[in-house]
Structure 1
Amino acid sequence: MDRCASVLLAFPPRGDLTDNETYHKAASAHIHRLSKMLKEQSRELVAFSTELFNVLDPAVHSLSYLTILNALMFPSLPADIPQEFVLEKLVTFMMAFDGRQCRYAGLPLLETMEAVGSGRLLPPSVAVEALATAILKLDPSGTMLTSSHLLLASLAYNTDNIQPALPVIDKDIVFYPGMANHENAQYQCDPGLSSASYISRGTGLTKVLKSSMVLEYDLVCGMTYCARQEWDKARAAFERVVTFPTKDGGCSKIMVDGFKKWILVSLLSQGKHSTTPPYTTASTIKTLEVLGRNYVDLAAAFVTDDVQLFKLEADNQQQVWLEDGNAGLVKEVVASYQKWRVLSLQKIYTKISIAEIRLQTKSAETGAVLNKDEDVEALIQSMIIEGMLKGVIEKNDDGTKFLAFLSPTAHPSEQEFQRELKHTAAKLQELTPIFDATNLRLATSREFIKWAVKENKRDKSNDAQDPTLGFDAQIDDEDLMGGLPAN
């Protein structure tokens, strides 16, 4: 045991490890010793695991702590050690390990995260929180999509443990494994690196993701937001599926599924069928609209005041909604129809009586006006509480109630403005390594180099022209996700 302990406690060594080169050499040497120990002394690590865990701090001796966990967990949990003991140490490690140190952990860390993400070892609520915490410890920016993200999103959605996963899935993804023109950093311990410089298949911290897996992640994220009725976030997630770069205008089944859900949540978040961004492939959208014709027709009827037409579209395609797994979303859309008709009145009125609203709007659930003014008032109050409507209900001296629409914009206070400035400055600071990594990747891309050479040969008479014009046109759609294996 003493021999094992001396190796396990050897890192981090005493002294200043702020220098990246010194840290890198020490960590690399330690990993080499731990790998050899795991192969040659695995039984000893298991036999003395209790004593060894007692002398190790997972936040300080993260690599060593992980080595003992690997000896205990793989290929299977030992029969002679209580499972509760191992799982307790597993959770402790996932919640406390040093992210900088574990950049060197490679495959052992990935296997541990996959074991947690499988949902077979820990209760789902514990597993989701532990895995989300581990992902952000390894990449605090959350900008790198990894194979662990897919496990987390699926486990959180399928077990309805969404809240602990939100700190991860709320992050904006910028980098993907296997991107072209992106090499691993010389010293992966450098705190200033972007996550794409140390999380890759080469470092063992993620598996390579196929394009279908990226689509699946965004689709699951969208459904996760739907479960929380966060329609704006759901729309953005499904839009990433719909606008995913494709070759020759093709589209996959996942894209078709995402397109159908995207239309429905667009109605819920915006009250209309969203227009696709200008970079969307026209031929792909045309194909999606043909395959999702029922949803396009439903959206067209939704924006009209003809409640019978909309109700007919919704009712006649019930089997389609069920087969697509969208019956619940369509039900939400039907319930929101009258709310959006109420909102449309603010284009005409600044103030309107509740009785008049009842006469001018109808419920798509019944196809008729609501029975009482009180029902309309309750509907409006729910819209105000949800943040969907900015307005107040006022009462005249004669007892008549009115809805007064409020201006959607309000001037922030000086304190609110200062907080917003600080928040913006912090976000810009976080974007610096992302910008540097993206700029480096662009500068070393084949397409950019070809464009730069061509620009150097341009006639001097064109010097006044915008030097960035024309570069975008030289990049094919399928190059946008360069390096991702095709489905």
Structure 2
Amino acid sequence: MTQLDASLAVLQGFPYDNTFDDNEAYHSAILSHRKSLEKLAASSGWTEAAPQLINHINPAAHSLSYLVALNTVKTSPNYPLDELIDKLTVFVNSFDVRQIRYGGKYFTRLIQHPRLVDMMPAQIVIGIVTKALLRLDPTGSMLTNHHIELLRYAYMRGHVDINIILPLIEKDVVFYPGMKASPGDRLPCDPEAPSVSWMTIENEFSIAINSQQVLEYDFLRGLSFINKRDWPQAFEALEKVIVYPILDGARDACSKMMTEAYNKWVLVGLLLNGRVPEIPDGLVANQCVKQYELMGKPYVQLAQAFENGDNVQRLLAEYNGVPAAFWQEESNLELVKLVLSQWQAWQIIRLGSIYSKISLEDVRKATQSAEMGLPLGSVDEVKAVVWRIINDYQGNPNVPGIAIDEEGQYVIFADPAEGDHEKEYAERIAAAVERMKALAPLVKAVNERLATSQDYIKAMVQAQKRTEMAAAVGGGGGSGGGGAAGRGGGGGPSTSSLLHPEDSELALDSLDFQDSIDDEDLMTGVTMGG
């Protein structure tokens, strides 16, 4: 047997047909196979042989072997780039997830050593890495440093590349690297094992991430959804930033990025719901509420004028009442202009609370363009605004059903819960049910971890004792931040660029976790600081 034959025997040595009695048998076999692969990759002649051997490995059947060989091929001198791209593409679309759960070191190397972004066109890299991460963890529930770096890279590249990464950043992150292992964690090969149990720092799928990186990820998600004019997703992503848990009373804990997110969140809230959004009660530390009120005053005043909806001059006064360069320096000029352009649309939407039918001419007289400061000049212009409402807000539960009659003379408003919109609501309910089903395994994983966490149990016991003591003396319990949308103070602009944030969901304050566990535990595995 030649050395190539011997190497190929190792590479094809794992029984890919999964003829194992149980997960324990699979676990033992794949660990043994990985050890053989590591020995092979360290042997003399491997670097020269890998480009030839990889052509004889099935990436779907012998995925871990293919991954090891692919890492070597990637760094082989003079290996054709088009062939490397082909092999990467085939691999990320076909690898056996069960095997790759044991290949964290090689998975990370494939992406980063050297970085794929330094070797091939950006759109190809973003597509390959996005596909790889989603195939590895279809739920997208585990955040890794790869997610953060990929989103940062895609956002800085522009709109086209953001489109490619959308399927990844639309996922709900639940877990973070560094979370404590649960005694009930399953083996990585268990098909039912949640990603948090194997997509770990120890298995080299990620390095530790800090709180600023988590904030950056959601902040860039928000900016990406703003670019796509996906207001519900943008609103949710930015809200995660502004309610990010911090230690109440900690100095400078409310970062510049959180304040910038708040300002954008207010504007997006107007575009989504037509009113000033309120900070979720009890989820924000007091010092952050105060900072939002101070730094966000121009935004909230603009939003209040927008929500009032009957005085275009007041709206324009709030827009023009700050220094000329303010909105531009805050990197919010285009978003503010979009808000102004939608002011008349929301005037029309609000007419639905009064009328079931109104002529387009009466709509023209009753509403004004914030861009002109006057009513529109023709019925056709009003009709164009109505069609924009229909296109932009179809399915929004805060917007009544809107249509134009067949003669093109009247706007018709309908209760969104009645008539033709019953099917639309049924579809939304069905989508919500499917979303809940998809989240069920994640909720189960979280519950299992909490049920076995001594820190969590200790904190719950302490919280219960405080509640009982407060009840005994007739007092109230618990502290924590909270408040409504900012209404106070002055403040000046922030000048950081959207592309380069300078500061790179869970209300824990009420349990006083900071009294019983470390900062790292407070952030479920995320270390504090930058």
TM-score computed with the length of structure 1 as normaliser:
0.88
* CA separation of 1:382 and 1:315: change in aligned 2, threshold 3 A: same
The change in CA–CA distance for 1:118 and 1:3 in structure 2 (over 3 A counts) is: closer
Amino acid at match of 2:447: N
User: Which residue number in structure 1 is paired with residue 165 of structure 2?
Assistant: 165
Matched residue, 2:493: none
Match of 1:406 in 2: 414
Q: Report the counterpart of residue 48 of structure 1 in structure 2.
A: 49
Q: SS of the counterpart of 1:145? A: coil
2:524 to 476, 482, 487: 482
Query: Which of 454, 457, 460 is the aligned partner of 1:451?
Result: 460
Q: Deviations over 1:428-476 (max 9, x none)?
A: 55334322321122121424235348969999xx9xxxxxx99983244
Residue 92 (structure 1) aligns with: 90
Q: Distance in 2 between matches of 1:339 and 1:413?
A: 20
Change beyond 3 A, Cα 1:416–1:349? closer
Contact 2:463 / 2:511 at 8 angstroms: preserved in 1? no
Of 217-226 and 386-395, deviating more is: 386-395
Local SS of the residue matching 2:190: coil
1:313 to 311, 318, 324: 318
| 1:189 matches 2:197 | no
Question: Which of 121, 125, 144 matches 1:127?
Answer: 125
Q: Choose from 485, 510, 530 the match for 1:473.
A: 510
Q: RMSD in angstroms over aligned alpha carbons?
A: 3.0
State the Cα distance separating 1:119 from its structure 2 match.
Answer: 2.6
Aligned match of 2:38:
35
Point out which structure has higher relative CO (alpha carbons under 8 A, 6+ apart). 2
Please say if residues 16 and 62 of structure 2, whose CA atoms lie closer than 8 Å, have aligned partners that are also in contact: no
- 2:528 partner amino acid: A
Q: Is the 8 A contact 1:117 1:127 kept in 2?
A: no
**Does the 8 Å contact 1:143/1:175 carry over to 2?**
yes
Task: Provide structure 1 residue ranges, at least 5 long, that are not aligned to the other structure.
Answer: 463-468
Question: Take 1:267 and 1:116, find their aligned partners in 2: how far apart are those partners?
Answer: 44
- 2:419 & 2:24 partners in 1: Cα distance? 51
The question of whether the paired residues in 1 share the 8 Å contact of 2:176 and 2:524 is answered with: no
- Give distance in 1, aligned partners of 2:423 and 2:362: 40
Distance 2:199 2:112 in 1: 15
Alpha-carbon distance between aligned partners in 2 of 1:315 and 1:302, rounded to the nearest angstrom: 14
Do the aligned residues in 2 keep the contact of 1:178 with 1:208 (CA within 8 Å)?
yes
CA contact (8 A) 1:117 1:152 kept: no
Q: Does the residue aligned with 1:171 lie in a helix, a strand or coil?
A: coil
Per-residue CA deviation, residues 208-230 of structure 1 (Å, 9 max, x unaligned), is: 11111111110111111111111
CA distance in 2, matches of 1:83, 1:483: 38
Deviation, 1:110, is: 1.2
Encode CA deviations 1:345-385: one digit per residue, 9 max, x unaligned: 11222221211111111111111111112111111122112
Separation in 1 of the partners of 2:71 and 2:189? 22
Query: Within 2, Cα distance between the matches of 1:86 and 1:59?
Result: 17
Following the alignment from structure 2 to structure 1, what is the Cα–Cα distance between the partners of residues 266 and 463? 42
- Judged with a 3 Å threshold, the aligned counterparts in structure 2 of structure 1 residues 53 and 374 are, in CA distance, closer, same or farther, namely same
Aligned residue runs from structure 1 range 304-343, under 5 A: 304=308, 305-317=310-322, 318-343=324-349
Q: Any idea what SS the aligned residue of 1:48 has?
A: helix
| Structure 1 match to 2:404 | 393
Matches within 5 A, 1:271-350: 271-278=274-281, 279-304=283-308, 305-317=310-322, 318-350=324-356
Match of 1:466 in 2: none
Distance 1:395 1:45 in 2: 74
Deviates more, 1:47-56 or 1:362-371: 47-56
Counterpart code for 1:285:
V
Q: How far did residue 308 of structure 1 move?
A: 1.2
Matches for 1:153-302 after TM superposition, within 5 Å: 153-159=151-157, 160=159, 161-180=161-180, 182=182, 185=185, 187-249=187-249, 250-278=253-281, 279-302=283-306
Structure 2 counterpart SS, 1:347 = coil
3-state SS of paired residue (1:104): coil
Q: Which amino acid aligns with 1:284?
A: C
Contact 1:183-1:197 within 8 A present in 2 as well: no
Is structure 2 residue 374 aligned with structure 1 residue 368? yes
d(CA) in 1 for partners of 2:86, 2:184: 34
| Aligned AA (1:54) | N
Q: 1:26 to 1:222 in 2, by over 3 A?
A: same
* Mapped contact 1:87–1:121 kept (Cα < 8 A): no
**1:9-158 → structure 2 map (5 Å cutoff):** 9-12=12-15, 16-17=19-20, 19-41=22-44, 44-73=45-74, 77-114=75-112, 119-158=117-156
Identity, in percent, stands at: 32
Q: Secondary structure at the match of 1:54?
A: helix
Q: Deviations over 1:74-108 (max 9, x none)?
A: xxx33333233223222222222111110100221
State the alpha-carbon separation in 1 of the partners of residues 194 and 209 from structure 2: 19
Q: Deviations over 1:97-136 (max 9, x none)?
A: 1111101002210121336975332322222221121112
**CA 1:276–1:455: 2 relative to 1, 3 Å:** closer
The separation in 1 between residues aligned to 2:426 and 2:416, in whole angstroms, is 21
The residue identity in structure 2 corresponding to 1:484 is V
What is the alpha-carbon distance in structure 2 between the residues aligned to residue 24 and residue 418 of structure 1?
A: 44
Q: One-letter code of the match for 1:384?
A: I
Give the residue type in structure 2 aligned to 1:63. Answer: L
Q: What is the CA–CA distance in structure 1 between the aligned matches of 2:523 and 2:201, rounded to whole Å? A: 16
Query: Structure 2 vs 1, CA of residues 122 and 316 (structure 1 numbering), >3 Å: closer, same or farther?
Result: farther
Range moving further from structure 2, 2-11 or 412-421:
412-421
Shift in Å, 1:15: 6.0
Whole-Å separation in 1 of the counterparts to 2:379 and 2:223:
35
Aligned length, in residue pairs: 471
Unpaired runs of 5+ residues, structure 2, are 472-477, 480-507
Distance in 1, Cα, partners of 2:278 & 2:139: 30
